[in-house]
């Protein structure tokens, strides 16, 4: 337990000392989220490297990671602020208003479902909500294999001698907890709690910078995290047909954003990605931090250190979330191209960006290449799953499929494109292009897993849709503020109802 505390404190301290060198952080919450995601991701990666070297996750490998953290902290203190200033913590909470209230509500919602993701019943059985029963069985096996079975080099715990292809770093973090005496369930739910905080905080931090408005950023987060589709029409059909309305509402027969029989495949992201797929819970906030750096690079506001940290964020992703790494790599390349074409010169700061990529990401990619050998991992699949349940003679249902699956947010997003500033359009263009790629190429053996790529397209779509909502609100608010709030509330409800 003492070793675990030192591991967490040293990792958090390393992240905190790095955050002190970043000038754009606006509140203690942003600083804490920055410290958690960078400090813990790096510490977990180094602990895994030491464990691989010695063939076991042990107090020795954890201790080496702690010593490395301490050494790096001392270096940062040496070249950074005087020691006395390190403890002058800036308790700047930031503004508190409707946007922050919405952010807190999302945090409570995700914490509630996190508490249900894995729990022990009265008979000692481990249970979970519907979408975690399969994923968390794998996660639990991976965690225990590292903590209890010295699974190095990693193989799947349920497939004999099969090299592990799943990005497992978040599970390795939980394995450190288990190794130090923490039970399996809290090792998962507690780390989830920390990552949910970083997920929401860093997503909001990026959106308010990209959109230039806290309220619009909050709207975008509501549309993204509570996303729904046109599945609500089937809710009303079932509700009208139910003999006992109260019992129907208390025990819904299905999640209405996921209805495969009606070809509703793009379901609510909290239920389909962020709670069951723990890799995304660590990968997405790291990408949001990278996006903040890239946005500042694109606007020529970034300092040299920010190029280094942007490359550092990208380099940590291969063992955290493969789909996020692919998106982040493409986004970084796009910003490099946009900036270089506009300036007509390659900034030497991009060499600094590449430094951690060469030192960290390249060895990780080589390791993954040794682990992952599959001839049919990628494939050509035009239309993604739009034809999954089409009947003979129905023709191409692609447009209907996406109207059903993305719902009214898709319409708002298309409208919002006409209101984007030039810099917003160019920055979001690579993310919007993911829609085209994911509807042509299957990025994983199971086609549904394209959702892990499509969620970044939908993230950009939600941000643009929030701009459209603002344009609807402003002219009506000048005449009748109450009516404008009512209209906006109805539109948002339509967008998220099935989610």
Residue 436's Cβ-count burial label (10 Å; 0-12, 13-18, 19+) is exposed
Token digits of residue 385: 């799953």
State whether residue 165 is helix, strand or coil.
coil
Q: 284 and 301 in contact (C-beta within 8 Å)?
A: no
- Rounded to the nearest 10 degrees, the angle between the axes of helix 28-54 and helix 59-79 is 130
- Please state, in angstroms and rounded to a whole number, the distance separating the CA atoms of residues 121 and 27: 40
- Please state, in angstroms and rounded to a whole number, the distance separating the CA atoms of residues 491 and 499: 14
H or E stretch at 148: helix 135-149
Q: 159 and 138 in contact (C-beta within 8 Å)?
A: no
Q: 16 and 188 in contact (C-beta within 8 Å)?
A: no
| Beta-carbon contacts of residue 75 (< 8 Å; ≥ 6 apart) | none
Token digits of residue 222: 């509501």
Q: 450 and 384 in contact (C-beta within 8 Å)?
A: yes
Q: 45 and 14 in contact (C-beta within 8 Å)?
A: no
Exposure on the CB side of residue 428, measured as CA atoms within 13 A: 23
Distances (CA, A) of 63 to 10, 53, 59, 275: 11, 14, 6, 30
Bridge partners (DSSP) of residue 119 are 127
Token digits of residue 146: 């590292």
Q: Is 0.95 surpassed by the pTM of this model? A: no
Helices (H), 299-438: 304-316, 322-343, 349-356, 362-371, 398-406, 408-416, 422-438
Walk along the chain (499 residues) and give the pLDDT tens digit of each residue.
899 999 999 999 999 999 988 888 988 999 999 999 999 999 999 999 999 999 999 999 999 999 999 999 999 888 865 444 555 544 455 566 788 888 999 999 999 988 888 888 778 777 777 677 778 888 999 999 999 988 988 988 888 788 887 889 999 999 999 999 999 999 999 999 999 999 999 999 999 999 999 999 999 999 999 998 888 888 888 788 778 777 777 788 778 888 888 888 888 999 889 998 899 999 999 999 999 999 999 999 999 999 999 999 999 999 999 999 999 999 999 999 999 998 888 889 999 999 999 999 888 888 877 655 556 677 778 888 877 555 444 445 888 899 999 999 999 999 999 999 999 999 999 999 999 999 998 888 778 888 999 999 999 999 999 999 988 776 665 666 776 777 788 888 888 888 6
Q: What angle do CA 273, 274, 276 make, to 5 degrees?
A: 70
Residue 48's nearest CA partner among 145, 134, 184 is: 145
């Amino acid at each position: 337990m003492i070793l675990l505390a030192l591991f967490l404190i040293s990792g958090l301290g390393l992240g905190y000392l790095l955050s002190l060198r970043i000038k754009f952080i606006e509140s203690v919450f942003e600083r804490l989220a920055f410290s958690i995601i960078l400090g813990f991701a790096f510490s977990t990666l180094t602990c895994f490297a030491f464990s691989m070297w010695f063939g076991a996750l042990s107090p020795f490998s954890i201790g080496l990671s702690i010593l490395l953290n301490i050494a790096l902290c001392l270096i940062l203190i040496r070249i950074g602020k005087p020691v006395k200033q390190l403890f002058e913590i800036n308790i700047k909470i930031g503004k508190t208003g409707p946007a922050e209230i919405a952010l807190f509500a999302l945090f409570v919602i995700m914490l509630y479902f996190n508490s249900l993701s894995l729990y022990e019943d009265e008979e000692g059985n481990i249970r979970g909500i519907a979408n975690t029963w399969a994923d968390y069985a794998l996660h639990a096996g991976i965690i225990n294999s590292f903590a209890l079975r010295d699974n190095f080099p990693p193989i799947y715990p349920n497939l004999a001698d099969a090299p592990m292809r799943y990005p497992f770093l978040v599970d390795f973090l939980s394995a450190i907890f288990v190794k130090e005496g923490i039970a399996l369930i809290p090792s998962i739910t507690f780390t989830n709690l920390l990552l949910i905080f970083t997920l929401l905080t860093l997503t909001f931090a990026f959106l308010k910078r990209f959109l230039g408005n806290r309220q619009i950023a909050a709207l975008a987060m509501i549309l993204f995290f509570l996303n729904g589709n046109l599945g609500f029409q089937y809710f009303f059909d079932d509700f009208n047909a139910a003999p006992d309305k109260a019992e129907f509402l208390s025990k819904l027969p299905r999640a209405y954003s996921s209805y495969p029989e009606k070809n509703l495949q793009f379901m609510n992201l909290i239920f389909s990605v962020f709670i069951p797929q723990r890799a995304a819970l660590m990968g997405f906030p790291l990408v949001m931090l990278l996006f903040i750096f890239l946005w500042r690079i694109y606007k020529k506001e970034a300092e040299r250190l920010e190029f280094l940290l942007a490359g550092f964020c990208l380099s940590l992703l291969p063992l955290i979330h493969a789909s996020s790494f692919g998106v982040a790599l493409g986004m970084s390349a796009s910003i490099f191209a946009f900036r270089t074409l506009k300036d007509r010169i390659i900034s030497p700061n991009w060499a600094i960006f590449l430094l951690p990529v060469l030192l960290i990401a390249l060895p990780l990619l080589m390791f993954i290449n040794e682990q992952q050998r599959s001839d049919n991992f990628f494939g050509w699949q035009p239309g993604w799953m739009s034809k999954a349940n089409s009947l003979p003679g129905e023709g191409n249902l692609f447009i209907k499929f996406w109207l059903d699956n993305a719902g009214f947010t898709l319409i708002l997003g298309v409208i919002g494109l006409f209101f984007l500033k030039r810099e917003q359009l160019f920055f979001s263009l690579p993310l919007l292009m993911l829609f085209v790629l994911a509807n042509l190429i299957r990025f994983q053996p199971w086609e549904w897993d394209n959702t892990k790529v499509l969620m970044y397209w939908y993230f950009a779509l939600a941000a643009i849709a929030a701009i459209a909502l603002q344009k609807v609100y402003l002219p009506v608010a000048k005449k009748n503020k109450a009516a404008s709030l009512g209209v906006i509330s109805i539109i948002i409800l339509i967008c998220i109802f099935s989610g």
